[in-house]
Chain A
């Protein structure tokens, strides 16, 4: 069996004049949690919906579990679970009834009770969907995507609108999916979510991938980049980025001691995903057409990692 779950190459999607996806390429390994991160309207959902078989691509290659999602082949639908942005539930069915119906649509369904436990809906088996809280409905949504025992799960903004506690619970479920060996493709505009869950993330902006890599290493030259911040004597915040923090700190501290001053609020850390993200999306905004090179999607400064 191939170790690649998803392969996308130079994917394009246009709606008339409007080009929503402009040459995206990435690979998702089996068993990996892959995050597609980006602001609203960046092309995340369009990309995912092409892979789910809901939309046809304009150009490029897309392969999901070795199949072309374009024709929505039934063998593919048997092996893929989909959580859409809106929870479309049968409001008058109980949790167990809904799961048993959807399970019956698959050749190899996961056990209903096991699925209920997986998403943490124990005790709600006989409650009708309409009586569930928003967070519980979203968990049922996830359960319906998992009832077919899929190898690959698409989660389109699974925690949008959740309170912090519900988000943590959803994260826990996604982590347990990962430990069960399920491949997960997650779109989100929450940076902490990508950071907490994804093995790798791709940042999409204006239909292109502007950075790709491990959440901790993405952007700014990867793991070696260090950000040092402190407050200067006149109270202004200072910030420096460096590949060689030892030298920079030595210079800074020597200078401070020589002047008899202090480095208030000194901090040394790697740029967070949020810093990288804000940098990249701001950059893309400032110069949207700088990327005219024909090399496809995986460019930008975060492209290198490891």
Chain B
């Protein structure tokens, strides 16, 4: 064997200088590191960043122009688009990203490092939560300064529904990624759920006038209840004590999502 050629390089690299005994990092600090990395990568992917923030802005602009002066409809649109933002940045984004990471082998690679799986997933979820929060902030600002809807009536209630919303749709997104066979089909799978749910759940219009059957389906789906809650917090000022049923439905979907998110989790590509 021609070992001679390797010698100079090995000398140049030197013996590995082991650093002084560092401590194993805590799961929480690792989750924080992963979160910060995910944020950095998010901003470096212009198309992801664009769709995350331009889409709600675009829709707000469009419907704002359409319903100009029609305060009642503007007040439907504001919580509707806030709810859509939460679903897009948690459910859609996680279902999409996890399929991609699984197929690329990133999940497998992360699993080979000392980082606990829980820290890694917490970093990913934290990234989705940050995007959802930013989207709600955009909607709140547009509602206040462009639509004359004013500041949210109950900030605490808004925070509670944001929390329930990201937890529920985040878990459902992770669970749904298990259903998607590969990344090529991910857009079809995600949109097949996302778009109908948007229309049924009254993101763009008041569902009072829609057919009975659609209303019944809407009442089962979580997005309707998230939008109801956001509407109560942002527009109507109905206190949290009147929103228990909405929280209960969201919570039930959340538990359903968490169960299947954990149960079916695959770290490896299916190919």
Contacts and interface: CB of A to CB of B under 8 A. Distances in A.
Interface of A: 52-54, 72, 74, 77-78, 80, 82, 84, 86-88, 90, 92-93, 97, 101-102, 104-111, 114, 117-118, 120, 144, 148-149, 172-173, 175-176, 178-180, 195-197
A147 B236 CA distance: 55
Contacts of A80: 112
B41 interface: yes
Q: Which of A114, A148, A196 is packed against the most chain B CB atoms within 10 Å?
A: A114
B263 interface: no
B25 A176 contact: no
Interface of B: 1-3, 5-7, 9-10, 12-19, 21-25, 30, 33, 37, 40-41, 44-45, 101, 104-106, 108-109, 111-116, 267-269
B44 A172 contact: no
Contacts of B267: 54
A88 B108 contact: yes
Given A84-B108, A88-B108, A176 B13 contact: yes
B242 to A, nearest CB: 45
A175 B114 contact: no
Contacts of A195: 1
A90 B5 CA distance: 32
A105 B13 contact: no
B114 A148 contact: yes
A77 B114 contact: yes
B18 A54 contact: no
A52 B268 CA distance: 13
Contact of A104 (B3, B10, B14, B33): B33
B9 A92 contact: no
Contact of B19 (A72, A84, A109): A109
6 contacts: A88-B109, A107-B24, A108-B19, A108-B22, A110-B16, A111-B17
Nearest to A176: B10
Contacts of A54: 108, 111-112, 267-268
